[in-house]
Amino acid sequence: TEIAERIGKHVSRIVEDGDTIQVGYGSIPNAILSNLSSKNDLGVHTELFTEGIAELMKMGVVTNCKKTIDRDKTVAAFCMGKKKTYDFINDKPCIEFRSIDYTNNPAVISRIRNITAINSALEIDLTGQATAESIGRTFYSGIGGQADFMRGAALTEEGKTILVLQSTAQDGTVSRIVPFLKEGAGVTLTRGDIHYVVTEYGIAYIHGKNIRERAMALISI
C-alpha cells in the first residue's frame, strides 16, 4: 500500500550500508525490503527468510561480507514464500538455517556489531511501551521473536532498533499512538527497547529521552 511504501522509505534512511538486518513479516516489512535496493553490503540475521530477502540477495545488495559473526552467510530459522523463493534457497551454501535458540538468542545477536532490528507493533503509548500481541484483552498474536532481536540489537555496538507501525487503524478513526496501552494489553517491548519509531509521517528517535520528550516526538508522527 502507499502507506507501507512511505514507511519503507523512512526506514531506508536509517539503515546504512554494511548493516546486518532483521525484519519481521507482513506488508510493511516487505515494503521496507523493497526500499533497500540502493544499499550496499547488507547482512541478514533474522528469524524469517522472505521473498524480499531473496530478491536483495539476487540484486547483490545482501552480501553478508561485513558481518562480525557468520560472515558471508544469510542466517535464518525458517522460510515463508512463493515457490521461486524455495527454488532460490535450494542448495545455497551462502544461506544457513539455524535453530531458534541460535537465531533469536540475544547473546548471539549482541555479537553482531551493527545489527538493525526492524519490527512492527499494534499500539505504542507516549512513553514508548509497545504491544505486538493484543489490543486490550483481545489477543491477536504472541510475543514472537521481536523482543529477542530488539533487546539483542540494543546491547550491541552501533546496533539500532526500529519499531514500525501505521499511525492509525480502522480507516484512520483510531490512533495506534496512545496515551496509555489499553487495559489488559501485554507489553511486548518496554520503553527501553526502542530507538526509532517510524510511521508514514516520519521518524521519532526516543532512545535516552525523558517522558515529555518521548511524548512530543511520538505526537509529531
Q: Which of 2, 5, 16, 47 is catalytic?
A: 47
| Cα(157)–Cα(107) distance, integer angstroms | 13
Nearest alpha-carbon partner for 162 in 135, 197, 137? 197
DSSP for residue 32: H
Q: How far apart are CA 133 and CA 131, in angstroms?
A: 5
Catalytic site includes residue 47: yes
DSSP-derived letter for residue 80 is -
Task: For cell 534512511, name the residue.
Answer: 13
Contact in structure between 59 and 81 (CB atoms under 8 Å): no
C-alpha dist (Å) from residue 212 to 37, 77, 207: 36, 39, 13
Enumerate the β-bridge partners of residue 134.
Answer: 139
Catalytic residues: 47
